[in-house]
Amino acid sequence: MATLRDIKRRIRSVRNTRQITRAMEMVSAAKLRRAQTRVEKARPYADKMQVILDNLSAASGTVTHPFFAKREVKKTTLVVVTSDRGFCGSFNHNVIRRAEKFLSDYTPETAELVCVGKKGYDYFKRHDFPVLFSLNDFAGNLDLAKVRRLSNEMTTRFIAEETDEVYLLFSRFESISRHRVSLERFLNIEQEEDADAGGSGVNYIFEPDPVSIYDDLMPRYAMMMVQMALADSFASEHAARMIAMGGATKNAGEMIDNLILVRNKVRQAAITKELLDIVSGAEALKA
Amino acid sequence: MASFILSIVTPEHILFEEEVESIVVPGALGYLGVLANHAPLITPIEPGRLTIQKSASTEINLAISGGFLEVSNNKATVLADAVEYADEIDIERAKASLKRAKQRIVEREEGLDFERAVAGIKRAENRLKIFETVAVEHR
């Protein structure tokens, strides 16, 4: 049986762990709130941009932009969005498993991988799938310069025909306890096929003309898509970490309770033993 | 005077959503004014000064770094890359980024994105200019 000292040490150590997990839970909760408002506040912008794009597609008819180009697919790019840090339950695992499933249909010749977040990068580096490049150290914050870099890199490669389609794989934030791994087509951007279906039926004046507006709009649209995906993923990451750490804090609490019971029993046993010694010693003297 | 709803949205938040009488926007082909019941319109926005006439006596000035204007159904939406109220412009930051962008061009940094550096200069100069002109007008 463990000695009293061992148990006391154990309790102290679990208590420390609980303190840390509790702190992490609270930090994640605060970060989650920020990330969540960011997701919500970015939505009107995204929606409006979609409206403009739909109207533009509807009105411009045959005019197209290179981002819409549909080609025979020789090379596919998958952008996998994971977190930089762990301690977030199955968050990364879910994304990586989905990525593996996706990649099982491809070979390193027909697909390439771009990682956002260290966890995904580390995993695929170990598992022999070539990673084209990776963007790390977001630390759960949206860095617009990095978003722009990622978006530009993808669109440049797409236009240069180094890749023929690009997918984003990320965790979509639905609620604090629900985030779904989601695969979204990034490039080519799908255009409303039917000119009448898109748009709101309003006859817009385009100034100067649809083509130049496309040139201005599409890079921003691409960046917005990447930004939304990352914002969703970050919110999900913080939510996952908050829940994982909340669970850990609870488990640590239970463990402490159990250990305290054991400690009390051991201490009682020691006292009983000592009493017995004293009593039997006294008895022996009397005799 | 007839009014319409103007909303200014950025990727970060909705900055403004109120009834206004008119706006003047730096469009791709030059500054253009929008009054109530304007015809549906979509146009890119250049860096410049966005003036909102809220009523005959209140005028609001903003610095905008680019984006889009969409007008339909007596509602105008400005999609802005970045936008600030003229009196909230961070002058020190604008000066610093102007200096940084100029330095980049002078030093011909490795892998320099020339267009972006020029755009950065435009944005910073725009902020400084608007801050100054609006301050002068208010005096």
Task: Spell out which residues of chain B touch residue A206, defining contact as CB-CB under 8 Å.
Answer: 41-43
Closest Cα in chain A, distance from residue B134 (Å): 28
A19-46: burial string, b at 16+ Cβ within 10 Å, e else: eebbebbeebbebbeebbebbebbebbb
Average pLDDT over residues A209-219: 86
d(CA B137, CA A127): 64
Which stretch of DSSP H or E encloses residue A171? Answer: strand A165-175
Closest partner CB to B42 (pick from A41, A44, A56): A56
State residue A246's pLDDT score. 95
Structure tokens at A38: 């960011």
Domain end, chosen from B44, B68, B85, is at: B85
Both B67 and B99 in one domain: the answer is no
Both B68 and B103 in one domain: the answer is no
C-alpha gyration radius of chain A: 29
Q: Do B42 and A227 touch (CB under 8 A)?
A: no
Q: How confident is the model at residue A66 (pLDDT cuts 50, 70, 90)?
A: confident
| Active-site residue identified among A14, A81, A88, A228 | A88
State residue A201's pLDDT score. 66
- Return mean pLDDT, chain A: 87
Verify cis geometry, omega within 30 degrees of 0, for the bond prior to A188: yes
Both B53 and B104 in one domain: the answer is no
d(CA A59, CA A161): 27
Q: How confident is the model at residue A199 (pLDDT cuts 50, 70, 90)?
A: low
Q: Where do runs of H (alpha helix) occur along chain A?
A: 4-60, 91-103, 118-126, 144-159, 210-286
A115 catalytic? Reply is no
Both B67 and B102 in one domain: the answer is no
Q: Which domain holds residue B113?
A: 90-138
Q: What percent of chain B has pLDDT over 70?
A: 99
d(CA B125, CA B132): 11
Residue range A244-262, pLDDT digits in tens? 999 999 999 999 999 999 9
Highest mean pLDDT (candidates A32-41, A140-149, A265-274, B102-111)? A265-274
State the CATH number of the domain containing residue B117: 1.20.5.440
Residue A239 exposed, middle or buried by CB count within 10 Å (0-12, 13-18, 19+): buried
The residue whose two tokens read 């977030």 is A88
Dihedral angle sign, alpha carbons of residues A197, A199, A201, A204:
negative
Asked if B139 is an interface residue toward chain A (Cβ–Cβ < 8 A), one would say no
Domain end, chosen from B85, B111, B128, is at: B85
Task: Spell out which residues of chain B touch residue A51, defining contact as CB-CB under 8 Å.
Answer: 70
Work out how many domains chain B is built from and give that number: 2
Q: Which residue of A has its CA nearest to B42?
A: A206
Both B10 and B69 in one domain: the answer is yes
By mean pLDDT, which of A56-65, A152-161, A211-220, B76-85 is the weakest? A56-65
DSSP B36: T
State residue A64's pLDDT score. 75
Asked if B26 is an interface residue toward chain A (Cβ–Cβ < 8 A), one would say no
The residue whose two tokens read 């679990």 is A14
Check residue B71 and give left, alpha or beta (phi > 0: left; psi -120 to 50: alpha): beta
Task: Spell out which residues of chain B touch residue A216, defining contact as CB-CB under 8 Å.
Answer: 28, 44, 68
Both B71 and B104 in one domain: the answer is no
Identify whether the C-beta of residue A53 lies closer than 8 Å to the C-beta of residue A210.
no
d(CA A210, CA A217): 10
d(CA A272, CA A232): 60
Identify whether the C-beta of residue A224 lies closer than 8 Å to the C-beta of residue A46.
yes
Check residue A140 and give left, alpha or beta (phi > 0: left; psi -120 to 50: alpha): left
Closest Cα in chain A, distance from residue B71 (Å): 8
Asked if A206 is an interface residue toward chain B (Cβ–Cβ < 8 A), one would say yes
Q: Name the residue with higher pLDDT: A165 or A203.
A: A165
Both B115 and B61 in one domain: the answer is no
Closest Cα in chain B, distance from residue A69 (Å): 23
Closest Cα in chain A, distance from residue B87 (Å): 24
State residue A258's pLDDT score. 95
Both B58 and B99 in one domain: the answer is no
Question: How many residue pairs bridge chain A and chain B with CB atoms within 8 Å of each other?
Answer: 67
Closest partner CB to A52 (pick from B7, B12, B42): B42
Task: Spell out which residues of chain B touch residue A48, defining contact as CB-CB under 8 Å.
Answer: 9, 70, 77, 79
State residue B139's pLDDT score. 67
DSSP secondary structure, A50-114, as one string: HHHHHHHHHHHTT---GGG-----S-EEEEEE--SS--STTHHHHHHHHHHHHHTT--TTTEEEE
Asked if A145 is an interface residue toward chain B (Cβ–Cβ < 8 A), one would say no
Q: Domains (ranges, CATH) in chain A?
A: 4-24+245-286 (1.10.287.80), 42-243 (3.40.1380.10)
A145-153: list long-range contacts, CB under 8 Å, 24+ apart.
Answer: A147/A223, A147/A226, A147/A227, A147/A230, A148/A223, A150/A79, A150/A114, A150/A116, A150/A226, A151/A219, A151/A222, A151/A223, A151/A225, A151/A226, A152/A219, A153/A114
State the CATH number of the domain containing residue B34: 2.60.15.10
State residue B114's pLDDT score. 80
d(CA B97, CA B108): 16
Closest partner CB to B28 (pick from A38, A212, A227): A212
Phi then psi for residue A127, to 5 deg, are -105, 25
The residue whose two tokens read 């609001």 is B60
Q: Which residue of A has its CA nearest to B27?
A: A207
Residue range B8-49, pLDDT digits in tens? 999 888 899 999 999 999 998 999 999 999 999 999 999 999
Domain end, chosen from B56, B85, B114, is at: B85
Closest Cα in chain B, distance from residue A266 (Å): 59
Highest mean pLDDT (candidates A202-211, A273-282, B96-105)? A273-282
d(CA B122, CA A23): 45
Structure tokens at A210: 């649809």
Contacts of B81 (CB under 8 A, 6+ apart): A220, B10, B11, B64, B65, B66, B67
Both B75 and B44 in one domain: the answer is yes
Q: How confident is the model at residue A59 (pLDDT cuts 50, 70, 90)?
A: confident
Q: Do B68 and A206 touch (CB under 8 A)?
A: no
Asked if the model's pLDDT at residue A280 lies above 60, the reply is yes
Q: How confident is the model at residue A193 (pLDDT cuts 50, 70, 90)?
A: low
Q: Which residue of A has its CA nearest to B71?
A: A204
Task: Spell out which residues of chain B touch residue A204, defining contact as CB-CB under 8 Å.
Answer: 40-42, 72
Both B108 and B47 in one domain: the answer is no
Asked if A49 is an interface residue toward chain B (Cβ–Cβ < 8 A), one would say yes
Asked if B82 is an interface residue toward chain A (Cβ–Cβ < 8 A), one would say no
Average pLDDT over residues A114-125: 90
Q: Which of A19, A56, A15 is nearest to A207 (CA)?
A: A56
Q: Which residue of B has its CA nearest to A48?
A: B79
Residue B137 exposed, middle or buried by CB count within 10 Å (0-12, 13-18, 19+): exposed
Closest Cα in chain A, distance from residue B135 (Å): 30
Identify whether the C-beta of residue A125 lies closer than 8 Å to the C-beta of residue A92.
no
By mean pLDDT, which of A62-66, A192-196, B88-92, B101-105 is the weakest? A192-196
According to DSSP, the β-strands at A76-81 and A111-116 are parallel
ipTM: 0.81
Asked if the model's pLDDT at residue B60 lies above 80, the reply is yes
Average pLDDT over residues A188-202: 61
Both B74 and B131 in one domain: the answer is no
d(CA B41, CA A208): 10
State residue A26's pLDDT score. 95
